[in-house]
Structure 1
Amino acid sequence: MKPPYTITASILNLVVSISQKIGEASAHYLDKQSPKLRKENRIKTIQATLGIEGNSLSESQVQAIDEGKVLIGFERDQKEVQNALALYERWNEFNPVKSDSLLSAHRILMQGLVTNPGEYRNRSVGITKGKTLTHIAPPADRVPFLMNDLFDFVSNDPDPLLIKSCVFHYEFEFIHPFIDGNGRMGRFWQSVILSKSHPIFEFLPFETIIASSQTDYYLALAQSDACGQSTPFIEYMLGVLDKSLAQLLNTTNVVLSETERIEYFIFIGMKDFSRKDYQRVFKNLSTATASRDLKKGVSLQLFSTYGERNATRYRVLF
């Protein structure tokens, strides 16, 4: 069954805006970010999505854990970060429309934090804000059927994937399939859904926008609950994606260092190239600066050379 929602003019306008930004990002190679930028965005994503759920650790502390450091006095928060790092590291293993894949992801994310990670809940749950009961989730015995219907919708409905990913996110929170971890799983899974068609979403830290507008996030969920369809939440989430893509595109204005340019060039996968090939990637780079970069790459034993003068070519050594 198709979940209820209405495609409004606001939703259509946001889909157009996001689609344009995806195209622009791809043109700037942001779907193949440098390892440095990729790591920074992943740290931001994990800190923000866990922070929404009450984790107290900062970006610098999350980065320290990623580097193998141990923080004293933050056992549960640290475990949440370690699990999230392990989950995002295995991103490409997950099929966005398979229940077994979702359960596997939950098992990684919540290992050591709940009694039965990777299993749908087997009892009724309600969501409270303070002392007020704001939502009663569907009965536990309905969860597997509701989730399979939701996967079927994502797989087969003809509406744009951008819209369907937002519908999935809302319906996932409504169903509340797990005892704990639903918020961070819902955000993660929307990214997984989107990344299969648009790889840039694997490293888009849209959770930072949600973290800075949590009141609006929960209000959009509540409004959708109240009207019986996910339209308000779709509008909110598409706005989040649009803002996050705009922020990501602004990183193209950042001046990269010599080493960062070399690292980025190696990452995009060109194994045998000329100086002109290098300059096609860094369009505003002068010939002299490009030559210095390549000389640096050779001195670091990252590149080898063959040919002479203007015919010199370079090979990546690993």
Structure 2
Amino acid sequence: MGVKWLFAFFSACWLVWSLGCLGDAPRDNPLDPAINPNNASLSGQVLTLYPPRQPLVGATVTLSPGGRLARSDATGSFQFEGLAPGTYTLTAAHPGFAPDTEQVTVNSHQVISVFLDALPVVDSLSLTTHHVARSFPPDDLYQYTLSAYISDPDGLQDIALAWYDISGEQFLDTLVFQNARNSRQGLYSVQRTAAQLPGGSLHRMVGKAFQLHVIDVAGNEITAAPLFISRIIETIPTIVSPAGLSTVNQFPVDLTWQPLALPFPFHLRIDLHRVNLGLPTLLDTFEPISPDSTRFTLTTPLTSGDYLWVLFIVDNLGNTSRSREGVFRVP
């Protein structure tokens, strides 16, 4: 028994010693996490938000942590390789689109699609003032018009709201859709009187910024460059004849007014209305008329009835000043 026990003891010792002398098994597999822990990847595609979804070329895609950057190719595709498994923040951005940020968990190979919302664009914007002289009521009326052509690559249906504020004032107002130039661009405008402004004065708004904002259906907002009142025309053109419900018996007839001399570029405009039951209906507009003129000849005979005409000063920025009405009758 003693010999067998000694033999077993020395055999066990030899086995332990032999195993200790063996080297580690070779680790040359690149997928072995002990050799290469950064073997995960992330790929995807950057597309427009609304169907038919189109690939976006040249989108900047960033991945954090690590600060990795890629650009989408002609198919909108991008790829990051050699990533350590984990959670990343991916941000995609493209000019004219709202950026999008996603949290992505990467284990081995992750695929993701990123959808970017095209932002509205303010193509043109104007702010004009209007000084209106009236026979009744006898006080002058001051107004302004804010109008904008707004487009959206996703279509007009993606424009949720166009609104503006005035710097330093507790005032917000919305623009109203007027008409569409095409499926992606439309005219939005609003006209308000001085009485609807804070303090009831248009002159008080001189020097204050009118700031237009546009929000799309996805809730992304753009802000246009500020606008300022450029001019309020105080001079009122004065009609000479026909006026005062005078009778016009024959045509052609001259519409006449007092001469005008103003220190800024302008032209004149005439609006001719027919009056039915006290309500004027626009018949014709004559524009531009030379600022040096003091008469305009109506050559086309008018049918029997009551008419009125008004004369406008229109400056090179679109601001206007309007005369009182010249009313006449054709028997």
TM range, smaller chain: under 0.3
Return the TM-score normalized by structure 1: 0.25
User: Hey, which of these two has a bigger chunk of strand by percent?
Assistant: 2
Return the TM-score normalized by structure 2: 0.24
Name the structure, 1 or 2, with higher relative contact order (CA <8 Å, separation 6+).
1
User: Hey, which of these two has a bigger chunk of helix by percent?
Assistant: 1
Structure showing greater radius of gyration is 2
